[in-house]
Amino acid sequence: MNFFSNLLDETHLALRENCARFAQKEIAPHAFEWEEAGIFPQELYTKAAQAGVLGVGFPEAVGGVGGGPLHAIMSIEGGMRGGSTGVSIGLGSLAIALPPLVHSKNTDLIERFVRPTLEGKKIAALAVTEPGAGSDVAGIRTRAERHGDHYKVNGSKLFITSGTRADFLTTLVRTSDDPHAGLSFLMIEKNMPGVAVSRSLKKTGWWASDTAELSFNNVQVPIQNLVGKEGTGFQTVMLNFQMERLALAAYGCATAQIALEESERYARERKAFGKPLSGFQVTRHKLAEMGTRVLAATTLTYQVAARMEQKENVMKEVAMAKNFAAETAISVTHDAVQIFGGMGYMRETLVERLSRDARILSIGGGTHEIMNEIIGKCME
């Protein structure tokens, strides 16, 4: 039964199936090895593009495969069937790096950056966070000074997904002192002199996704690489956050759903005291509560996506969905590890990996506390 038949049509279901098929064939057989190595092969980008799973949510006019927020969620759910959130996140860094370019409608930037990325030929990253500014975006200090036909950029960025491998960075820079109106987006190319990867960071989860600290030392960036108008960076990043937070809610739901399915399977197969774990009421009740939380989080996330598709203002509800889905992923994966017992603590089990991967969901893209600030302000 399609419980969400009021929201998901044939196009959604077919897309999810296509993405799952790709993930099961191209990612699942290597997921453990790539997670342990902390990387996945670059050719996966081209394979994903060829399979039509890379450009979901991007208009065909810029090289995407079309679709709205619910389609984007389907591609996340399908992709997660590869068993590595790290790979999904690595492939997906373009989903946060490219929208500012698409919204700018700048055909030169679209041809140079968006199209080749959606063809799987270039890797994109979004560089907003800095060592001294994460939640407080207006505290960004990376400076871009205008000198004739170029900007001179100095500063650093932290925790940048795909940062070590990216060919270019959609970078939030300070073009004047005004906390909000002084921010702009600049396209910084990795091969520009003065751009360096200071560190490749080791993380709790998302191992196959690379995360970097970057530095800019007198980098000369042509003014053609400005995205939109000078001073529109803060607005753009806030707009970008909406889809990023919805996507993170979707990762939370998918993480919890897979952990639930794994737990159900294990509870049927594993025997203790002469009967399967599912024969104990305590296990059945745990599974019942996990299933309820997964359905509630998924329902909220889909509903918010459907409203977003109608172009409604869902700033409060996106923040609610992100918090609720992240907490669901954290609690359900915790329970899943418990059901697996000692095996749940072993690297070879999927629930162990999912439990580590879930933790970031209440931090990245805006923390739990910042989401509550947004919700609280919208309720005033």
Ligand X SMILES: Cc1cc2nc3c(=O)[nH]c(=O)nc-3n(C[C@H](O)[C@H](O)[C@H](O)COP(=O)(O)OP(=O)(O)OC[C@H]3O[C@@H](n4cnc5c(N)ncnc54)[C@H](O)[C@@H]3O)c2cc1C
Contacts with 20 (C-beta within 8 Å, 6 or more apart), sequence order: 77, 78, 79, 81
Per DSSP, 347 falls in state T
CA nearest to 72, candidates 95, 45, 99, 105? 95
Q: In terms of residues, how long is the chain?
A: 380
Rank residues 228 and 366 by Cβ distance to ligand X and give the closer one.
Answer: 366
**Taking CB under 6 A as the criterion, which residues in 126-185 touch ligand X?**
126-129, 134-135, 159-161
**Residue 365 phi/psi, 5° resolution?**
70, 15
- Segment lying near ligand X (by CB under 6 A), choices 107-115, 124-132, 272-280, 325-333: 124-132
Query: In angstroms, what is the minimal distance from the CB of 280 to ligand X?
Result: 37
Radius of gyration of the chain (CA): 21
Rank residues 243 and 370 by Cβ distance to ligand X and give the closer one.
Answer: 370
- The residue sitting closest to ligand X, measured at its beta carbon, is 134
Do residues 76 and 69 lie in contact, with contact meaning Cβ atoms separated by under 8 Å?
A: no
- Residue 300 token pair: 């909220």
Rank residues 51 and 363 by Cβ distance to ligand X and give the closer one.
Answer: 363
Instruction: State which of residues 178, 199, 369, 377 lies at the interface with ligand X (CB under 6 A).
Output: 369
Rank residues 6 and 135 by Cβ distance to ligand X and give the closer one.
Answer: 135
Do residues 180 and 133 lie in contact, with contact meaning Cβ atoms separated by under 8 Å?
A: no
Contacts with 229 (C-beta within 8 Å, 6 or more apart), sequence order: 184
Do residues 194 and 347 lie in contact, with contact meaning Cβ atoms separated by under 8 Å?
A: no
Instruction: State which of residues 21, 203, 316, 334 lies at the interface with ligand X (CB under 6 A).
Output: 203
Rank residues 138 and 223 by Cβ distance to ligand X and give the closer one.
Answer: 138
Query: In angstroms, what is the minimal distance from the CB of 209 to ligand X?
Result: 7
CA distance 296 to 9: 20
CA nearest to 59, candidates 133, 115, 136? 115
The verdict on 360 binding ligand X (CB under 6 A) reads yes
Query: In angstroms, what is the minimal distance from the CB of 27 to ligand X?
Result: 19
The verdict on 375 binding ligand X (CB under 6 A) reads no
The verdict on 366 binding ligand X (CB under 6 A) reads yes
The verdict on 108 binding ligand X (CB under 6 A) reads no
The question of whether 244 is a catalytic residue gets the answer: yes
Contacts with 17 (C-beta within 8 Å, 6 or more apart), sequence order: 78
CA distance 184 to 177: 12
- Segment lying near ligand X (by CB under 6 A), choices 47-55, 114-122, 203-211, 260-268: 203-211
Rank residues 102 and 339 by Cβ distance to ligand X and give the closer one.
Answer: 102
Instruction: State which of residues 28, 291, 367, 378 lies at the interface with ligand X (CB under 6 A).
Output: 367
Query: In angstroms, what is the minimal distance from the CB of 172 to ligand X?
Result: 8
CA dihedral (295, 298, 304, 305) in degrees, to 10, reads -140
The verdict on 119 binding ligand X (CB under 6 A) reads no
Point out which residues bind ligand X (CB under 6 A): 125-129, 134-135, 159-161, 203, 206, 211, 360, 363-367, 369-370, 373
> Which residues does the annotation mark as catalytic?
244
